[in-house]
């Protein structure tokens, strides 16, 4: 029984590390952190930004997994909401800029028909996936 628990723990930890690595690679590849540092003219503090993102992810996971209460009161909730909104907005803008890559790719590949279909398919696929997740109860 103990061996089974150890194997499950190793699989769970490895899976979580793989998913977290993929998320960080995604965020870094679309340049959210670099763009923020460039726009605010604080590129000398890029390591601080990266460390802050990593620390936030680790602490967020710990709070989520162990269901820890963080007694910060209303002011803490407001600060958290502001920073979470800033991150979400920056991520959404970065994703919108990534979508500009699709028309450039189509032009360079000399594909002139079907761009609208590809973008519509991406949007419908995301919408359908979200609806299935929520309506089929695949969430917690």
Q: pLDDT confidence of 139, banded at 50, 70, 90?
A: low
Separation of alpha carbons 18 and 130, rounded Å: 23
Q: Cα 52 to the chain's mean position, in Å?
A: 15
pLDDT in tens, 48-73: 888 888 888 788 777 777 887 778 88
Q: What is the C-alpha separation between 35 and 69, in angstroms, rounded?
A: 33
DSSP classification of residue 45: G
Angle at 58 between CA 52 and CA 9, to 5 degrees: 160
pLDDT given at position 126: 83
Can you give the pTM of this predicted structure?
0.48
Q: Which residues contact 43 (CB under 8 A, 6 or more apart)?
A: 37
Mind listing the pLDDT tens digit for each residue in 1-45?
889 888 888 888 888 777 777 777 777 777 777 877 887 888 898
Decide which of 132 and 20 is more confident.
132
């Amino acid at each position: 029984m103990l061996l089974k628990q150890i194997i499950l723990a190793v699989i769970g930890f490895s899976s979580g590390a793989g998913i977290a690595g993929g998320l960080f690679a995604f965020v870094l590849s679309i340049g959210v952190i670099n763009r923020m540092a460039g726009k605010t003219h604080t590129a000398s503090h890029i390591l601080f930004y990266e460390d802050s993102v990593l620390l936030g992810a680790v602490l967020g996971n710990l709070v989520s997994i162990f269901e820890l209460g963080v007694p910060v009161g209303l002011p803490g909730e407001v600060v958290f909401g502001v920073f979470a909104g800033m991150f979400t907005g920056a991520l959404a803008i970065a994703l919108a800029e990534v979508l500009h890559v699709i028309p450039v790719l189509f032009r360079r590949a000399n594909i002139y028909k079907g761009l609208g279909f590809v973008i519509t398919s991406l949007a419908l696929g995301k919408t359908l996936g979200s609806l299935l997740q929520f309506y089929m109860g695949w969430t917690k």
